[in-house]
Amino acid sequence: MGKLSIVWSDRSNQSSLKKEVKEEFHKPRSRQCSNHDIIKEPNRSVSFNSSGAETVCSKENFILGRWIRFTGSGGTVIPDNPPQPHHCGTINPGWIKGGHPSESEGVVNRQLCFVNGDDNCEFDSYEISIRNFGKYYVYRPPNITKCSLGLCTKILHGCFYKPVGVASSTIIPDRQMTASSFWKEKINCGAMYGRLFNVSGFGWCAGDNRTTDKSNWLQVDLGKEFYVGAVATQGGAWRSYTTDFKLFYSSDEGTWQAYQNGNGKEVEFHRKKGLGVDRHKLRIPVVARYIRFYPTKHILWDCLRVEVYGIFKGELILSKYNERILKCYTAVSSVKVNAKTTKEHHEPECHPCVYRKLNEAYRYWNHTNHPYLGYDKDKLTNGQWYRFTGRAGVMMANYCIPHLSCNAHMAGWINGSHPMRTYQLVSTTVCFHWNQNCCYISYPVEIMNCKGFYVYKLQKPGDSRARHCGVKDSPPPQGETEARELLLKPDTNRVL
């Protein structure tokens, strides 16, 4: 067996870092958890179009040095992706670059970026502190000196998976960390060192350097069954780390099942950050007590540090929506895969118990004589997947349709392209046409091609007069073609 030379360049730095991480992790939760300001401003939502509206001046809303928490219909977290300009009640909307931390990371600093035209990270000298308290985040914003800069917020949907606690030996004891083997020629390479952010050793490193699938593994006993929705991985110390791995899970440590995608193929997770932290979302959550990580590829050696994210199976689910989705995903993951299942439900978003149907006749684009039945601001659930079907049509138009279509003042359409490949997921924009402005208000949307139909991750429109409209096909059939040509005519005096 080849030798791997690992040397700490500075033992004092190692001790200092270990002390710093330990102190930060065990800080009393009360300081930021209970002593923060609540910000509840609907206009901060990423779906709020600020054009022509009164804008938010962030420097007037925050007390320097104070922690804040976002709540309410505007959103609960600052987005991790750049919003559109002139949204969120401001000219240059702000977002977090680098992602949000796990609960075990304690307080972290991230880059605070602001969108300015085509530049998604203008004015990027700002830094913001963040802490994860499991069910919500708190932020300590910097002194934002320009009134055109404002923080965006979005609603965090789905099951809010939190770290189970692998990073802490007080939550997951050493005896619950096991492995196929460990590298005995070096100290501090056992399974108990395979914890995320552990700095007391090299992380878990396998006893041999074989790359054969399933020969080396690191196992975590969570102590009880969890709905597991994600894992995080980190390389070992110095230059050794796993680059690819597979995941197995069990409820009794006797029967193991490989994590698979919808067509029954084992998923091989790829790591991009080397010695850094990668987070891997499980598209179909699983129920498990035992989790095994099987390295399949590595740089120098199979070394790994891990965390598991989930919700205790006996824990109360916070909302009926989360409970329904969680039960649905669990049902999907337990369905025996066959040809029919593979064809129809390759991805969970395409499963009938995940999406909801929009089939109202008044939702069809040319319907204008139906009495008022409530607009989408009252009918939709933010972040829910929807499918157009029946008399509503089969999809949303990807061209500007006349305002007053689908019996609404503001007619919603897709300002972009639908996904072409089966099970392809794209991000684009929903626009609402009003008074000769085809994109009077807008918000970002996700669309998935479900092999025969589309599903849309919709939000409540920012205006109470708006509705998402359906069409029969794309390109548009007779009638819809005429409407499209009418809109494209260079007659600026025409009012639709």
pLDDT above 70 as % of the chain? 71
Rg (CA), the chain: 25
Quick: pLDDT tens for 4-62. Answer: 332 333 333 334 433 433 333 344 444 556 678 888 887 888 877 766 555 556 545 67
Q: Which of 66-70, 275-279, 393-397 has the lowest mean pLDDT?
A: 275-279
Residue 300: is it exposed, middle or buried by C-beta count within 10 angstroms (0-12/13-18/19+)?
middle
Pairing of strands 241-250, 204-205: unpaired
Per-residue confidence at 331, pLDDT binned at 50, 70, 90?
low
Q: Is the pLDDT of residue 291 over 50?
A: yes
Pairing of strands 466-468, 410-414: parallel
Residue of higher predicted confidence among 79 and 330: 79
Average pLDDT, the chain: 75
Q: Is the pLDDT of residue 296 over 60?
A: yes
Q: 110 forms bridges with which residues in the sheet?
A: 128
Question: Residues near 22 by Cβ (< 8 Å), separated by ≥ 6?
Answer: none
Pinpoint the alpha helices (H) of 290-400.
320-334, 339-344, 376-379
Assigned fold of 174-315: Jelly Rolls (2.60.120)
Q: Which of 138-147, 230-239, 320-329 has the lowest mean pLDDT?
A: 320-329
Question: What is the C-alpha to C-alpha distance for residues 83 and 193, in angstroms, rounded to an integer?
Answer: 39
- Say which residue the tokens 């109470």 belong to: 464
Q: What is the pLDDT of residue 496?
A: 27
Quick: pLDDT tens for 333-376. Answer: 444 333 333 334 456 678 777 788 999 888 998 886 655 556 78
Q: What is the pLDDT of residue 21?
A: 35
Q: Is the pLDDT of residue 490 over 50?
A: no
Q: What is the pLDDT of residue 16?
A: 40
Q: What is the pLDDT of residue 284?
A: 75
Q: What is the pLDDT of residue 159?
A: 46
Q: 45 forms bridges with which residues in the sheet?
A: 153
pTM above 0.85, yes or no: no
Q: Report which DSSP code applies to 166.
A: T
For the chain, give every domain's residue range.
29-156, 174-315, 350-471
Quick: pLDDT tens for 403-460. Answer: 788 888 889 999 998 998 888 888 889 999 988 899 998 888 989 998 889 999 998 8
Residue 257 Rama label (left phi>0; alpha psi -120 to 50; beta): beta
Residue of higher predicted confidence among 188 and 262: 188
Q: What is the mean pLDDT of residues 221-239?
A: 86
Half-sphere exposure of 187 (CA within 13 A, CB side): 4
Residue of higher predicted confidence among 126 and 185: 126
Question: Residues near 173 by Cβ (< 8 Å), separated by ≥ 6?
Answer: none
Q: Which of 230-239, 301-310, 340-349 has the lowest mean pLDDT?
A: 340-349
Quick: pLDDT tens for 113-162. Answer: 888 876 677 665 688 999 988 778 899 988 887 878 888 888 664 445 67
Question: Residues near 115 by Cβ (< 8 Å), separated by ≥ 6?
Answer: 82, 83, 84, 85, 92, 93, 94, 95, 122
Q: Report which DSSP code applies to 402.
A: P
Helix (H, G, I), strand (E, B) or coil at 491: coil
Q: What is the mean pLDDT of residues 159-184?
A: 82
Q: What is the pLDDT of residue 185?
A: 58
